[in-house]
Amino acid sequence: MKSRSYLFFIPTGIFAVILLYLVYWNVYNSFTNSSSFHTTATFVGLATYATVFRDPVFLSSMRISLIWAFSLIFFGNLIGILLAAFLFNVASDKIRLIFTTIFIYPLAISAAASAVIWTWLFNTNDGVNTILRAIGLPPYSWLDRPSSILPSMILISLWVYSGLSMIFYLASFQNVNRESIESARIDGASPLRVLVRILMPEAKNAFIVSTALLFLFALRIFSLPFVSTGLNPFTETAVLNMYFYYITEFFANSSVVSVVLVIIASIVVVPYALYGLKRWITHD
């Protein structure tokens, strides 16, 4: 019986070997000069890394990715908390289910489709600007102005991912003792005070999970800016920069960017995984 149970680990083991090989190959390739200008790639050490890190486009793309990531973390968590608090205070289960479905629906839409939808909504003559004109406000250049194009993209990503953050916070709030909340309300505590003093202290795990996932989602964003703006210097993330290196056949440079992204992602994921493992062992 035990021998049969090991059979379930065979697919995982095969997948792990393939994944580790691909990671190894990519890391090795980053130490070569592989490109269309070199038919035979040779080992050059850190030379390609030095070339990439001197590229102002790469530095700009990393800055954009980090700005995007920390913006999504801050505002995504904030919106998620507010939405979760709203749903937590909805008395009717049916109404709560309806609103929950509405809030998480953007997650079911592909990033490319979301980009198309919001590109129309941010059109100068249609969409949101139609509403602004109707209420007497001037239209806004959402995607045509360098100073507004990145905030507009971040706003779209908040629409997509805030519902995910909301789910984690709502799950944490559901574990709070209702009697303590009712007691606080009888004592005259406002909804904001209940949220800050009672609900939020129980949402530490939700914050950790939400922050880690929002950071990873922001770090790998590709379809949203690419479909909306193409290879635009004001929205070119590190993943788009990696893609640009690849399509221009600077393969080693593309590998360097991917290795940097993996390292940054690991810095976030590994501590979170160790923390979760520690809690799991302690709980057992």
**pLDDT, position 28:** 94
Tally the domains of the chain: 1
Structural contact between residues 210 and 124, judged by C-beta atoms closer than 8 angstroms: no
**Mean pLDDT, the chain, integer:** 87
281 pLDDT tier (thresholds 50, 70, 90): low
Name which residue leads in pLDDT, 284 or 255.
255
Name which residue leads in pLDDT, 11 or 224.
224
The CATH number for 192's domain is 1.10.3720.10
Each residue of 67-96: pLDDT tens digit?
999 999 999 999 999 999 999 888 888 998
What domain range is 63 assigned to? 55-283
d(CA 242, CA 196): 42
Residue 215 vs residues 70, 77, 110, 269: alpha-carbon distances, Å? 7, 11, 18, 10
**pLDDT, position 284:** 46
Each residue of 13-71: pLDDT tens digit?
888 889 889 889 999 999 999 998 887 889 999 999 999 999 999 999 999 999 999 99
In a domain, 49, yes or no: no
**pLDDT, position 269:** 76
Strand partners, 38: 35
In a domain, 13, yes or no: no
In a domain, 117, yes or no: yes
Q: Which residue has 């406002």 as its token pair?
A: 190
Nearest one of 25, 65, 76 to 239, comparing CA atoms: 65
276 pLDDT tier (thresholds 50, 70, 90): low
pTM of the model: 0.88
Residue 169 has pLDDT above 90, yes or no: yes
In a domain, 30, yes or no: no
In a domain, 33, yes or no: no
When pLDDT is averaged across residues 250-269 and rounded to a whole number, the result is 91
**pLDDT, position 193:** 80
Residue 238 has pLDDT above 50, yes or no: yes
d(CA 83, CA 77): 10
In a domain, 37, yes or no: no
Residue 277 has pLDDT above 60, yes or no: no
